[in-house]
Structure 1
């Protein structure tokens, strides 16, 4: 597949040292050497980071901090009710309905100096091709295929925002997220440039997966929402049933952990996030919920999200509005896509109910409860009866999204 390098990959020539690639003869150096000892010298960045962390604690104690505007949705601190810092804040200022706080600016500089990729990591990323993108025409087709066939199932990206940056060479989208979008898009795109001799796009998908994974492993992206979005999409690559670390189950779980660490499982209605970001957070969280339930059913795995731990409001049609106050938006929400996802969420709620009542380990220890079966049947019957006509499947008016929804039913 023909590829063009981005400006990032042109700034530093790729290293040809075979040790970085894991190739060449194995080293004969003994394992136990003095050189193997970790450094005991505290670097300046580490000391600065520790000092800034101490200052951060003090800032959380300020009353006005809880109501400070959150300008960057990907840089939010979450304080759960039982966390030590949250208890200190509440003891000093009384109870508060806020659990999301903006990360202080002093954290960014210190952390960036600690975690920014060094030259060795940059060389490895270049060897992995992480900075490479397909020709622009193919890239455009992959992005279009993603938003047409994948995004309705996982509506985690604000398309208007993404495309604005995608078209802006001076402010492009996150490279990690873009590689993940290309990965998911390659699974549904039929361009012959992506296909091998047998007509499969799996090798192309593997290429994009390795690039995205290399960027993730190198901590190349520090925006937490972007990381969650990319992790969800990385689940579109699957090596096979024998692998437990390169499939949708694994990446969904990692995405859930990152999202919960950022407080995405909690309501943001009282937070200082913008209205657009609040809507996106809800879409990301409910997407994680649907992935959690549907993957658990498909693979026979336990669920990860406990509904008792979350108070995110139910997703609604309004949450798909991306351009606030712009009736002439280039990407207005598609009513069929919106209804598909809203009904999919309801189906996944029933999936969770059936899993806990019929397929959980605990359920096998007790005899089948006829009331539980009746409850599940009634929930499914109610869902079908109230399914909107736009996505209600009938043989006489067959279309893809209603068929996909009813295949889950």
Structure 2
């Protein structure tokens, strides 16, 4: 007696789209909300029912049951230890072309990935690549205590701004005693922020090794590859003035290209094991992109409109991460700075957008947690005062970004106007913070973008040298800038270009006549909000704005001996130079109404520009550096020079560039 076996029914394949999106032939994100039983974003926006679409396979004819065709049904294989989130089999490339390609049938992007290309061979390499990797092993990299020291440097100085590897992760990776691409990249970053000059050569060898490992596909975990390219951005062997494939700008765009391939710009499925890491990687790339684009005056590599990754939350970080709040605030302020400079570069900064940026900065300042603030309110006093907190290197770096944004946003377009009070105070704060860096010997631990912050503050300070009434403390602040740039250029050649810019500006400032105007700096109530949580300890110019006694108005007698002065009929009875607030667009800005305006009879001595109780003394080496006959001027960041340089200087710049 023969038994008749009935073929088991073929499984029903559940598609990743809902019925509505399937009919409209648009991409559906229903699978991202499956665990929460929410509808897809398209149905939510259109307020239509969201029903999962099921795609059925063709049924086998019942007449063929007696002799069924051999059908192989693949069963889901349980994950093994070797199938971690980083294995190539689990890392499909992201494709979004179905959003704009229509067809009569479904476009199954998942099915399109079911083939194995030459680049997906796990553990297999071209013989030529394998030979290169064997040769690179001859590059000796740090071992023993030096290796541990570099890794500690990375964790302490670099990781707060790219929190992708924890100390436990590093111990696990380093325990294998394998010089992988990820570990080698961390050694490179650790060598950059080291206080020991002897490790520079070790860092270069590690970098050469990392490049070989990257270009020979030695790392099979694509997330690790992206993380390694992020860490390599700490190295900048050449400045932005020169085209290079070894600087942070190049590695940033490499990181972004890989991130787009992996779909890191899309909100990850919460069920993914590495969902939190993917978010941290993406926002690290966004912050790096904003900083590098701002420092170089170039387009950003990431378009925020293409991403739907939600902002970071504390739960996206590993438990006990003390730098979680710091990094979240860091991402926000870099995004504001990136948006601002992009509007300036494109010429799209309208009054409305400027108001929005001002509100964004106020919102950021108010949202900074008390644990990260520079000052804390002082209790038990009759007047509301703030006291400077204990020195914290990371918190100082965070606020330097804020002050840099203030300088750029409130700069005056008219080169003959005195500096805006907001920009003046912000530049003074940056000077005070860098003075703390020098005192605590933390200059070697700064990132390369600190060069840009220094240059922004230094150019602002040099721009008001022609106003004698603002001469207080300017020599001290400029000296701090020069000392800081001198320390940074020992490890970042791009600081040499910034130093040349500052030196040329100093040279030109000595040829500009003093302006016989006394400036009384005043803040509007709205502008004062930008400094409400701060105090005078880090700002030498604080008294000129917030202490009326420190900025007494000048009188006609103050200009005795200067030269022939034509009296302004609009001057007040006492001949006092006052400031009036005039509206320009939405913003109230100070405009000096000089009681004495006129031509200075005869040139003003250059040393008077530096007279602050004593002339500025320059050594012969300083004079050779500052007043060199070379007329070349590096072009980094010149997108905002023109608004700060007097007209006489623009002729010099146009001949030099």
The TM-score by the shorter chain falls in which range?
Answer: 0.5 to 0.7
Residue in 2 that maps onto 1:253:
253
Residue in 2 that maps onto 1:273:
272
Residue in 2 that maps onto 1:294:
291
Task: Assess if the C-alpha contact under 8 Å between 1:158 and 1:280 holds in 2.
Answer: no
User: Would the alpha carbon gap of residues 262 and 148 (structure 1) be closer, same or farther in structure 2, given more than 3 Å must change?
Assistant: same
Residue in 1 that maps onto 2:310:
313
Residue in 1 that maps onto 2:163:
155
Gaps of 5+ in 2: 1-11, 17-30, 35-75, 376-387, 403-657
Q: Write the distance in 2 (CA, Å) between the matches of 1:110 and 1:350.
A: 39
Residue in 2 that maps onto 1:352:
338
How many residues were matched structurally? 313
Q: TM-score, normalised by structure 1?
A: 0.68
Task: Assess if the C-alpha contact under 8 Å between 1:130 and 1:212 holds in 2.
Answer: no
Q: TM-score, normalised by structure 2?
A: 0.43
Task: Assess if the C-alpha contact under 8 Å between 2:122 and 2:220 holds in 1.
Answer: no
Task: Assess if the C-alpha contact under 8 Å between 1:100 and 1:263 holds in 2.
Answer: no
1:97-108 to 2 correspondences below 5 Å = 107=116
Q: Write the distance in 2 (CA, Å) between the matches of 1:355 and 1:178.
A: 34
Compute the displacement of 1:180 (Å). 0.3
Task: Assess if the C-alpha contact under 8 Å between 1:143 and 1:185 holds in 2.
Answer: yes
Compute the displacement of 1:370 (Å). 2.0
User: Would the alpha carbon gap of residues 147 and 103 (structure 1) be closer, same or farther in structure 2, given more than 3 Å must change?
Assistant: farther
Task: Assess if the C-alpha contact under 8 Å between 2:94 and 2:260 holds in 1.
Answer: no
Residue in 2 that maps onto 1:112:
121
User: Would the alpha carbon gap of residues 103 and 180 (structure 1) be closer, same or farther in structure 2, given more than 3 Å must change?
Assistant: farther
Q: Write the distance in 2 (CA, Å) between the matches of 1:153 and 1:289.
A: 12
User: Would the alpha carbon gap of residues 261 and 132 (structure 1) be closer, same or farther in structure 2, given more than 3 Å must change?
Assistant: same
Residue in 1 that maps onto 2:361:
380
Residue in 2 that maps onto 1:39:
none
- Aligned to 2:92, what secondary structure does the other structure show? strand
User: Would the alpha carbon gap of residues 238 and 113 (structure 1) be closer, same or farther in structure 2, given more than 3 Å must change?
Assistant: same
Q: Which has the higher contact order (CA 8 A, sep 6+)?
A: 1
Q: Write the distance in 2 (CA, Å) between the matches of 1:63 and 1:123.
A: 46
Structure with the bigger percentage of helix:
1
User: Would the alpha carbon gap of residues 122 and 403 (structure 1) be closer, same or farther in structure 2, given more than 3 Å must change?
Assistant: same
Residue in 2 that maps onto 1:82:
97
Residue in 2 that maps onto 1:165:
173
User: Would the alpha carbon gap of residues 159 and 405 (structure 1) be closer, same or farther in structure 2, given more than 3 Å must change?
Assistant: same
Compute the displacement of 1:145 (Å). 1.4
User: Would the alpha carbon gap of residues 62 and 181 (structure 1) be closer, same or farther in structure 2, given more than 3 Å must change?
Assistant: farther
Compute the displacement of 1:217 (Å). 1.3
Task: Assess if the C-alpha contact under 8 Å between 1:236 and 1:248 holds in 2.
Answer: yes
Residues 1:369 and 2:378 aligned together: no
Residue in 2 that maps onto 1:333:
321
Compute the displacement of 1:130 (Å). 6.7
Residues 1:225 and 2:223 aligned together: yes
1:189-268 to 2 correspondences below 5 Å = 189-190=194-195, 192=196, 195-196=197-198, 201-241=199-239, 242-268=242-268
Task: Assess if the C-alpha contact under 8 Å between 1:150 and 1:185 holds in 2.
Answer: yes
Task: Assess if the C-alpha contact under 8 Å between 1:130 and 1:215 holds in 2.
Answer: no
User: Would the alpha carbon gap of residues 340 and 90 (structure 1) be closer, same or farther in structure 2, given more than 3 Å must change?
Assistant: farther
Q: Write the distance in 1 (CA, Å) between the matches of 2:209 and 2:119.
A: 27
Give per-residue Cα distances to partners, 1:285-316, cap 9 Å, x unaligned.
00000000011111211111111111111111
Q: Write the distance in 2 (CA, Å) between the matches of 1:109 and 1:243.
A: 32
Equivalent residue for 1:403, pick from 396, 403, 406: 396
Q: Write the distance in 2 (CA, Å) between the matches of 1:87 and 1:73.
A: 32
Task: Assess if the C-alpha contact under 8 Å between 2:140 and 2:205 holds in 1.
Answer: no
Residue in 2 that maps onto 1:182:
187
Task: Assess if the C-alpha contact under 8 Å between 2:265 and 2:308 holds in 1.
Answer: yes
Gaps of 5+ in 1: 1-60, 94-98, 323-331
Residues 1:133 and 2:126 aligned together: no
- Aligned to 2:249, what secondary structure does the other structure show? helix
Q: Write the distance in 2 (CA, Å) between the matches of 1:89 and 1:321.
A: 46
- Aligned to 1:235, what secondary structure does the other structure show? helix
User: Would the alpha carbon gap of residues 157 and 371 (structure 1) be closer, same or farther in structure 2, given more than 3 Å must change?
Assistant: same
Compute the displacement of 1:226 (Å). 0.9
Q: Write the distance in 2 (CA, Å) between the matches of 1:279 and 1:233.
A: 19
Task: Assess if the C-alpha contact under 8 Å between 1:130 and 1:214 holds in 2.
Answer: no
Task: Assess if the C-alpha contact under 8 Å between 1:78 and 1:101 holds in 2.
Answer: no
- Aligned to 1:333, what secondary structure does the other structure show? coil
Residue in 1 that maps onto 2:132:
124
Compute the displacement of 1:121 (Å). 3.3
Give per-residue Cα distances to partners, 1:335-362, cap 9 Å, x unaligned.
xx111101011112212321232222x5
Compute the displacement of 1:128 (Å). 3.4
